[in-house]
């Protein structure tokens, strides 16, 4: 069942539903747009706002028709100040008007009133930086994100909360036990699962609140099991350059792999301007094959 939400004068479909449709149409690959200086150089581009414009739009062109989701890494645009943000605004608008879902990897977090303003920047319909979803941090408590979750839900947008991140340093803090006795990661997942349940209007409907779970981590070490992740969109970086294998998708996430978005940046972008379309196609094909394998989890 498709549930729509009214936002101002706009009627929009819930993010979880839009995401599920995108995955069904074009698969679960999320193409990362990370204009690292070394990649710009290997693409024959300058480390300037013009260079990142050329780079990003070439990746977007290559993604059209081949992948339904992109994830620009905001940090690489921010390096170029207002000129970088102008590129990002144009990229977000072009992708969204081409029907590609955009996850702004901005990783914002703060006390509730300030993080709400971050949410308004990235998730308000009509905002210059309007994306379909953004990444946020719950270091200040999942409750600090209440206004962002509510804004996302009311405007057909999504939020991906860092829960078990792909970097090796994450373990010490994210596996630690909260005062409730669960790991930090499972506390975040539990609270978001409860939020999604309160918003759900039909069984098996994907929620608009998702989590970031690195493909490089063993979920069990973080006290997380695939059962905790039912109908929760999962943004999974760590494949490719960071070492996780696309073919291990089901072994890593078990039954939760049906709601996993496979995020890959450098393993695609390092193919260069002439190879990027082929790299997207090859990643998609490998993911499709992996998703249909029997679960090893």
Ligand X SMILES: O=c1ccn([C@@H]2O[C@H](COP(=O)(O)O)[C@@H](O)[C@H]2O)c(=O)[nH]1
Could you list the active site residues?
107
Closest among 186, 121, 111 to 144, alpha carbons compared: 111
Closest among 249, 263, 268 to 101, alpha carbons compared: 263
Say whether residue 214 binds ligand X (CB under 6 A). Answer: yes
Calpha distance 223→243 (Å, rounded) = 22
Binding mask 79-118 for ligand X (x = CB under 6 A): --------------------------x-------------
Instruction: Report, in Å, the least distance between residue 267 CB and ligand X.
Output: 6
- Please, which residue, 182 or 242, has the CB nearer to ligand X? 242
Tell me, by CB under 6 A, how many residues bind ligand X.
18
DSSP 8-state assignment for residue 132: S
Calpha distance 253→225 (Å, rounded) = 9
Report the residue from 56, 183, 186, 265 that binds ligand X according to the rule CB under 6 A: 265
* Residues numbered 29-48 forming contacts with ligand X, rule: CB under 6 A: 32, 34
Instruction: Report, in Å, the least distance between residue 52 CB and ligand X.
Output: 14
Say whether residue 264 binds ligand X (CB under 6 A). Answer: yes
* Residues numbered 56-75 forming contacts with ligand X, rule: CB under 6 A: 73
Report the residue from 237, 258, 262, 276 that binds ligand X according to the rule CB under 6 A: 237
- Please, which residue, 5 or 134, has the CB nearer to ligand X? 134
Other C-beta atoms lying within 10 Å of the C-beta of residue 27: 20
- Please, which residue, 68 or 156, has the CB nearer to ligand X? 68
Determine the interface stretch with ligand X among 14-22, 53-61, 93-101, 165-173 (rule: CB under 6 A). 165-173
Where would I find the H helices in 169-275? Answer: 170-174, 184-199, 249-253, 266-269
**Across-strand partners of 4?**
13
Per DSSP (E only), the strands in 77-185 are 101-108, 133-136, 158-164
Say whether residue 200 binds ligand X (CB under 6 A). Answer: no
* Three-class DSSP category at 133: strand
Cβ-contact 164, 185 below 8 angstroms: yes
Determine the interface stretch with ligand X among 60-68, 96-104, 260-268, 279-287 (rule: CB under 6 A). 260-268
Calpha distance 271→275 (Å, rounded) = 5
Q: Which residues bind ligand X (CB under 6 A)?
A: 32, 34, 73, 105, 165-167, 212, 214, 237, 240-242, 263-267
């Amino acid at each position: 069942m498709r549930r729509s939400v009214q936002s101002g004068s706009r009627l929009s479909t819930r993010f979880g539903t839009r995401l599920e449709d995108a995955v069904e149409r074009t698969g679960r690959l999320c193409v990362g747009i990370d204009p690292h200086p070394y990649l710009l150089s290997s693409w024959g581009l300058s480390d300037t706002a013009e260079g990142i414009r050329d780079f990003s739009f070439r990746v977007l062109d290559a993604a059209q028709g081949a992948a339904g989701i992109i994830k620009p890494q905001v940090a690489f645009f921010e390096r170029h100040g207002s000129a970088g943000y102008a590129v990002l605004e144009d990229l977000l608008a072009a992708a969204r008007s081409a029907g590609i879902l955009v996850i702004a990897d901005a990783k914002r977090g703060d006390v509730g009133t300030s993080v709400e303003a971050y949410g308004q920047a990235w998730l308000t319909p009509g905002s210059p930086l309007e994306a379909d979803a953004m990444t946020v941090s719950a270091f200040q408590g999942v409750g600090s994100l209440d206004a962002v979750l509510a804004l996302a839900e009311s405007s057909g947008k999504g939020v991906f909360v860092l829960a078990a991140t792909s970097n090796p340093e994450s373990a010490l803090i994210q596996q630690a036990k909260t005062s409730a006795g669960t790991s930090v990661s499972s506390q975040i997942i539990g609270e978001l699962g409860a939020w999604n349940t309160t918003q759900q209007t039909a069984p098996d409907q994907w929620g608009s609140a998702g989590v970031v779970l690195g493909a490089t981590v063993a979920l069990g070490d973080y006290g997380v099991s695939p059962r905790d992740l039912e109908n929760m969109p999962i943004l999974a970086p760590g494949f490719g350059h960071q070492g996780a294998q696309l073919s291990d998708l089901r072994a890593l996430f078990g039954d939760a792999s049906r709601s996993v978005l496979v995020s890959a940046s450098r393993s695609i972008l390092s193919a260069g301007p002439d190879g990027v379309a082929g790299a997207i196609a090859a990643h998609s094909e490998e993911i499709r094959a992996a998703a249909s394998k029997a679960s090893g989890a």
